[in-house]
Chains A and B, each alone.
Chain A
Amino acid sequence: METVNYNYAIVRSFITWSIIWGVVTVLVGVLISFQLVLPELNFAPYLTYGRLRPIHTNAGIFGWGIGSFFALFYYMVQRLCRTSLWSDGLAKFQLWFFNATIITAAVTLLLGYTTSKEYHELEWPVDIMVVILWVAFAINIIMTIVKRREPQMYVSLWFMLASLVGVAILYLVNAAEVPVSLFKSYSAYAGTNDANVQWWFGHNAVAMVLTAPPLAVFYYFLPKATGAPIYSHRLSIVAFWSLIFMYLWTGAHHLLWTPVPDWVQTLAMAFSVMLIAPSWGSVFNGYLTMNGQWHQMRENYLVKFLILGITFYGLQTLQGPLQAVRSFSSFIHYTEWVPGHVHMGAMGWVSLVLFAAIYYLVPKIYGRELYSIPLANLHFWLVLVGQLIYSISLWVAGLQQAGMWHAMNNDGSLTYTFMEAFVEMYPYWWMRGVGGLIYLVGILVFIVNLIKTAQGGKPAPEAIQNA
C-alpha cells in the first residue's frame, strides 16, 4: 500500500497557538464583562473597555476561531484528499505570520488604532498582513485539493473552499480605504454605502468564518466520532449550495430602521428567514445521522460536544432570522439580547465543535490516549453551564431593557430614563461575568487534559503517521 507522509506537525502547532489565543479571548472577555459592573477595573488609556473589547472579538474570531480552522483544515484536507500538503514550507511560514499578525493586531488595538468598523477594526498595514496570510493559506489548501487522489469531494471540502473564497472577497471589498498616515485610513465608501458594505462584510464574516468552517468540521468529525456515516451526503450538498446562494444577501438586516433603502432591508429580511432552510438542512442531517446512535450521547464525550454544538447552531439559526424581522428587531436591537445571541454561536456552536475536533485529534497526532475522559466530561458541563448562564441572563436582560426603553406614559413621554434602564442591567451583567468565569474554568480543564495527554498519556495502540 502506498504511504503518504501527512504533515501533522503543522496541525499540532496551529492547535497549540489557537488554544493560547482562545485563552486570551476568554480572559479578556471575562475582564471586560466585569469592567461593566466594576468601572474601577478600567485602567486608562490602554486597558479600558473600549480598547479591550475589539481585542476580545479579534482574538476570538481570528486567533481561536481561524487559528483552529487552520489546524483542522490542514488535517482534513490531507485526509480527505489522501495526499500530503502542497507546501509544508508555506504552511510553516503561515503559522509564524499568523502569530505576528495577531500580535500586531492586539498591539495596534491597545494603542487605539482602529478603523472603528466592527470586526474589521484593523488599520491598513495589518489588513495587508491579513491578506498575505489568507492568500498563503488559500493557495496551500486549494493546491492540495487540486492534487487530490479522491475524485469525488466530500462536503467538508466544499465548505472549506467556500470559506477561502468568501473571506477573501469580503475582506478585500470592505478593506477598500484611503490611507492618510501609517495607522490611519478612511473608508473608500461614504454614508449609507459604507454602512451597507460594512454589514455585508460583518454578517458574511459570520457565514464564511463562523458557519462554513465549523460545518466542514462537523461533517468531518461527526462520522469519525460516532462511527456512522452522515445521513445524506446529497442533503449536505444541497444545504451547502442553498447556504451559499442565500447568505450573501442578508447583511443589511443589521441596518433595519436606518437610512439604508427600504428595499435593501426587506431583501435582507426575506433572505434571512429563507436561510432557516439550509441551516436546518445541516441540523437535520446531524440529528438523522444519530438514528440508532443516540445512546452515544451518554457514552461518547465527543458526541456530546458535537450534538450540543449542532443544536446551538439550530437555535442560533432560528433566533437570527427572528431578530432579522423588522418588528422584532425594533424591540431588541441595541439591547443586551444581541450579545446573548452572538455568544450562543461563539461559545456554544463554534467552540463546542472545535473542542470535539481537538479532542479527537490530539490523541491521534500525539499517538496517545486521551489523559482523562472524566475531565473531558467535566469540561463539557462547565462550558455548557457557563454559556447558558451567559446567554440566558443576557436574553432576559435584553427583554427587560427593551421593555423599559419602549414603555410610555399616557401623555407619550417615556416611562423610564435611560439611566433607570441602565441600572437595572447590573444583576444580569454580574451573572454574565460569572457565566464567563465558569466557561474559563472549563477551558482550563480542557488545557490540562490536553497537556497531560501530550506529555504522558498512555501510548495509543497505533499512531497515525501514515495511511
Chain B
Amino acid sequence: MDWASVLYLGFTFGLLVIFILIVWRTYQAKNKRRLEEPKHRMLDDD
C-alpha cells in the first residue's frame, strides 16, 4: 500500500471516528435537555 492510499484510509477512518463521536455526544443522557430545548422554542409565536 502506497502513502497516498494510507492517507486516504486514515482520512476516511478519521471521518468515521468524528461521526461516531457526534452521535455519542448527541445521545449522552447529560446532553438530552440542552439538545432538545430548541424544539420547544419553535412553539413561540412568530
Residues of chain A having any CB pair with chain B under 8 Å? 79, 150, 152-155, 220, 223-224, 227-230, 232-234, 237-238, 241-242, 245, 364, 464, 467
Q: A242 near B19 (CB under 8 angstroms)?
A: yes
Q: A241-B23, A245-B15 are in contact. Are A150 and B41 (CB under 8 A)?
A: yes
Kindly state whether residue B2 has any CB partner on chain A within 8 Å.
no
Picked from A79, A238, A364, the residue with its CB within 8 Å of the CB of B23 is: A238
Residue of A nearest to B38 (CB): A154
Residues of A within 8 A of B15 (CB): 245
Q: Could you list which residues of chain B lie within 8 angstroms of chain A, going by C-beta atoms?
A: 15, 19, 22-23, 26-27, 32, 34-46
**In the complex the two chains form, what is the Cα distance from A238 to B23 in whole Å?**
6
Main secondary structure of the interface of A (DSSP, over half): helix
Tell me if B36 and A232 are in contact (CB < 8 A): yes
The reply to whether B27 and A364 form a contact with Cβ atoms under 8 Å apart is no
Tell me whether A229 and B46 are in contact in the complex, defined as CB-CB below 8 angstroms, given that A238-B23, A245-B19 are known contacts: no
Contact check: which of B36, B42, B44, B45 meets A234 at CB < 8 Å?
B36
Beyond A233-B35, A233-B36, A241-B23, list 19 extra A-B contacts (CB 8 Å): A150-B38, A150-B41, A152-B35, A152-B37, A154-B39, A154-B41, A223-B39, A223-B43, A227-B43, A229-B40, A233-B37, A234-B26, A234-B35, A237-B22, A238-B27, A241-B22, A242-B19, A464-B45, A467-B44
Q: Which 6 A-B pairs have the closest CB atoms?
A: A223-B42, A154-B38, A229-B39, A233-B39, A233-B36, A241-B22
Q: What chain B residues lie within 8 Å of A237 (beta carbons)?
A: 22, 26, 35
Contacts of B26 in A (CB 8 A): 234, 237-238
Using CB atoms, name the residue of chain B closest to A235: B26
26 contacting pairs across A/B (C-beta < 8 A): A150-B38, A152-B34, A152-B35, A154-B39, A154-B41, A155-B38, A220-B42, A223-B39, A227-B43, A229-B40, A229-B42, A230-B39, A232-B36, A232-B39, A233-B35, A233-B37, A233-B39, A234-B35, A237-B35, A238-B27, A241-B19, A241-B22, A245-B15, A245-B19, A467-B45, A467-B46
Which residues of B sit under 8 angstroms from A150, Cβ to Cβ?
38, 41
| A153, B42: Cβ atoms closer than 8 Å | no
Check A233–B22 contact: CB distance below 8 A.
no
Cβ–Cβ < 8 Å partners of B32 in chain A? 234
Q: Closest B-chain residue to A244, C-beta based?
A: B19
Minimum Cβ distance to chain B for residue A65 (Å): 23
CA distance A232 to B43 in the complex (A): 14
CB pair B22 A238 closer than 8 Å: yes
Chain B residue nearest to A75 (CB atoms) is B46
* Closest beta carbon of chain B to A449's beta carbon, Å: 20
Measured CA separation A227–B40 after assembly (Å): 10
Contacts of B23 in A (CB 8 A): 238, 241
- Closest A residue, CB atoms, query B35: A234
CB-based contact B38/A152 at 8 Å: yes
Cβ contacts under 8 Å, B27 to chain A = 234, 238
Whether A224 lies near B35 (C-beta < 8 A) is no
Chain A residues with CB under 8 A of B37: 152, 233
Bound-state CA distance A224–B45 (Å) is 8
Interface residue from A228, A233, A464 paired with B46 (Cβ < 8 Å): A464
The reply to whether A224 and B46 contact each other, CB–CB distance below 8 Å, is yes
Give the distance in Å from the alpha carbon of A187 to the alpha carbon of B34 in the complex. 48
* CB-nearest residue of chain B to A223: B42
Measured CB to CB, the closest approach of chain A to B46, in angstroms, equals: 5
- Distance of A79 Cα from B45 Cα, bound (Å): 10
